[in-house]
Amino acid sequence: MPRSLPALMPRRWQSRRLCPCGGRTCVCGVAQPGCITGVVGASGSGKTVLLRTLAGHSVGIVWEAGEIVVGDVPVQALREENKAAVLSFLPTAAPIRGDLSVEDNINYCGALLLTNATEDEYSQALEETLEGLMLTDVRHQKAASLSQGQALRMRLAQLMIAPTRIVLLDDPLRGIDEAAGVRILKYLKRVAQEKQIAVVCAVGTATSLVSAVLDTTLELESGRVQDDLERAGNTHNTINSSSTHNNNSNSTHNKCDMNGVNGKTNDKQHAAGAETASSLPTTAKAAGVGLAQLEALHRPVASVKQQVHSLALLYMKEESPRALNKYKAVVAIGLGLVTGILWFGVGVEEDRRSFGETVSLLFAAMITWIIAFVYPAAAGVKSQYLLLRQDVSGHFYSYWLRLVVWTVFDFAVLAVWPIVFGTITFTLAYVGADWESNLTKSFILALAANVFHALGLLLGAAIPDPAAAVAVVTVVVQAMLMMAGFYRTLPDAIQWLPSVIGIPYYILTALMRTEFSANDSYRCHPSRASSAVGPHDCYIETNLLTEDYRQRNILFVQSPEAHDPSEWALVLPLVLFYIGIRILGAIILLLRIRRKFRLHAQQKLPSDHRRSSTHASSGAAPVRREPETKALISCTHSNGTATENGHCTKQRPSHHQRRASQKQLLLEDEANGDAMDGFSGPHTDVSTV
């Protein structure tokens, strides 16, 4: 693949449908501003591969206004300004958030894309999109209950509420009747003309009604262009993909050409092209970039409310936990080592600590950092569920209060620990001669630990892969939701137990490390013992972490020979308790979310399919169980007696009857062990490049 613009390709974009590029015959002018181009062809002809090449998900060359925006490198490696601002792609299988309403699903994308829009402008864009795609009547309906055509129109609305300069749609008319499809195409054409964007869509078979709406039809067969039908009156022009380029050929006027002279466009207008024929791969490379990744970190954000929406969208990236693993390990171990060195290195004299104590502190620090990074990735499942379920409905200004609360909470935590450390040390060391040194050491130690913790979170966000920011986002959202009143469950209380017991633990530790001699008088520090010992050389040892543990007594033990047990006895219980609490909280959260997803999935499946999985796995024939008859069918007259001929009078079940029947079926399925083996995390609805 050529890595630079071919010499034969002029800077000014040509509207010729075929042109040479690096010794190959390429499709040129596939998309032009204000026009809608249809890519037609039989199944397997290469329609999806062409669109994925344009979107940057497959290898190929793509120009935009004469400049290469996608080459033979993954689109993820390109500059940010060449991605989300140029191309947007709606694949065939774009999942939806079934637990959100139609309007919330659209807000979920629109609130981020329209970053500079006011409330009125956003509301107007939303209403126009809903009306244009015939979604007004179902705007408050759950997405899980939509038909195939309605769900497709909703996914299209997510993209068209704030379209990019080039919009790529893979079979947007699938499952939609011809009349509705023509109406959708007319809406897309109107938006393309108003906003001067280029729309390319795969339409399968172009009927006469569909072809009448399309400005240009690109026919593919086995990855090669067969015909290019340009409509200007009734004039058609056929071009074979093996033909050579001629500057004088294809002079047919195309109504998509804005200047209307020789098919040339202005340099400021936009066009796109892609290599076809043998340069197109037979299989498309899996999309690795989603709307959440690109938009959450790369697009300019106008206000805090949009930043919070960006966090919500970032959670929707399904690959985040997997992509985060390598960064978690490196960052956690690195920060653990740094923190461990700082832990025993601040103010500690040389050769004052045993090897076992040093190793134990390093181990404790590394475990703490690993837990701090691993746990948010798991607990974030609940955070993203609550955030997207409750907060992506357009209530923007409530985020200001939550952000203020989180900011105050964050600074309070960072400030409280040094104050607590300093207060304990000052109180216990005031009677000693070295209280200033102890206070300074403890304050620096606590402050440095918090600073390194904050730096670790920021480092997670600064890694180029946006998925690595999940650790930061999870911690922020968890605290934000808790402070806003969303967190009031047992797992959340369990998560905060280590913080609750932290201060008493350090107070107890400080008391245990306070030393007295047998006669309750001051004892001299071993390093200062000499033939001439003055009062200023003897004091009560109170420093929490920086004194000689090997010479320390415990809780007023009268015998100076009684030594403190190994540091493991102090460090390991806290570390093990911390790990156990975190694991327990994560397991409870994941089990609860798994159950919720399982119930949602079972409600959407047909009744016979829900109950056939267990029988199929065991080899038994599936048994169809219907809900209780009395909950759905009335077999009585108005006086409450059954009909004599045994026939039932069917009535429409009430909402409560349907809910009771569904609940009973779910409970019976659960009792019989008919449960799903797992649940699928949230997905991005639209992939943008």
The two beta strands, 24-31 and 87-90, are unpaired
The answer to whether residue 184 scores a pLDDT higher than 80 is yes
Question: Over 50: is that where the pLDDT of 595 sits?
Answer: yes
Position 194 scores a pLDDT of: 82
Are 154 and 250 contained in the same domain? no
pTM of the model: 0.37
Percentages helix, strand, coil for the chain (3-state, rounded to 5) are 50, 10, 40
Domain end, chosen from 589, 614, 631, is at 589
Output the pLDDT for position 460. 38
b/e per residue 108-118 (b: at least 16 CB within 10 A): bbbbbbbbebe
- Of the candidate ranges 97-111, 571-585, 630-644, the one whose mean pLDDT is the lowest: 630-644
Q: Between the CA of residue 236 and those of 45, 209, 338, 497, what are the distances in Å?
A: 22, 17, 71, 74
Q: Based on the domain organization, do 378 and 270 belong to the same domain?
A: no
For 318, phi and psi rounded to 5 degrees?
-65, -30
CATH for 227: 3.40.50
d(CA 680, CA 663): 22
User: Same domain, yes or no, for 342 and 270?
Assistant: no
Q: Which of 397, 392, 473 lies closest to 109, judged by CA?
A: 392
Quote the pLDDT of residue 597: 58
Chain mean pLDDT for the chain: 51
Domain limits for position 43: 18-86+165-287
Q: Are 422 and 545 in the same domain?
A: yes
Do residues 425 and 435 lie in contact, with contact meaning Cβ atoms separated by under 8 Å?
Answer: yes
Residue, of 318 and 620, whose pLDDT is higher: 620
Q: Same structural domain for residues 155 and 201?
A: no
The whole-number average pLDDT for the span 562-568 is 40
C-alpha 623/C-alpha 625 separation (Å) is 6
Mean pLDDT of 513-525: 35
Write down the pLDDT at residue 528: 36
**Which of the listed residues 233, 255, 287 is the one where a domain comes to its end?**
287
pLDDT score for 176: 76
Q: Can you tell me whether residue 64 is helix, strand or coil?
A: strand
Domain annotation covers residue 652:
no
Domain count for the chain, please give it: 3
Q: Are 184 and 133 in contact (CB under 8 A)?
A: yes
CB 187 within 8 A of CB 176: no
Same domain as 198, residue 110:
no
**pLDDT band at residue 367, thresholds of 50, 70 and 90?**
low
Residue scoring higher pLDDT (160 or 642): 160
| 131 falls within a domain | yes
Residue 190 included in any domain = yes
Mean pLDDT in residue range 606-618 = 44
Q: Are residues 235 and 133 in the same domain?
A: no
Does 48 share its domain with 177?
yes
The verdict on 146 and 76 lying in the same domain is no
Report if residue 689 sits inside a domain.
no
The predicted-structure confidence for 439-480, as pLDDT tens digits, reads as follows 444 444 444 444 444 444 444 334 333 333 344 444 444 444
pLDDT digits (tens, 9 = 90+) for 310-332: 443 433 333 333 444 444 445 55
Give the C-alpha separation, 660 to 652, whole Å. 14
**73 — phi, psi (to 5°)?**
-125, 155
**507 and 479 in one domain?**
yes
pLDDT confidence of residue 132: 81
38 against 345, higher pLDDT? 38
Distance CA 219, CA 522 (A): 95
Decide: residue 594, CB within 10 A, 0-12 exposed, 13-18 middle, 19+ buried: middle
Give the pLDDT score at 48: 75
**Residue 115 φ/ψ, nearest 5 degrees:** -70, -30
| Whether 153 contacts 135, CB under 8 Å | yes
**Residue 48 or 580, more confident:** 48
Do residues 195 and 74 share a domain? Answer: yes
Could you tell me which residues are beta bridge partners of residue 62? 70, 274
Nearest to 163 by CA among 131, 135, 200, 211: 200
Q: Are 318 and 171 within one domain?
A: no
Q: Using one digit for the tens of pLDDT, what is the confidence trace for 478-492?
A: 444 344 333 334 444
Q: Is residue 23 part of a domain?
A: yes
Is 504 a domain residue? yes
Per-residue pLDDT at 104 exceeds 50: yes
- Give me the pLDDT at residue 414, please: 47
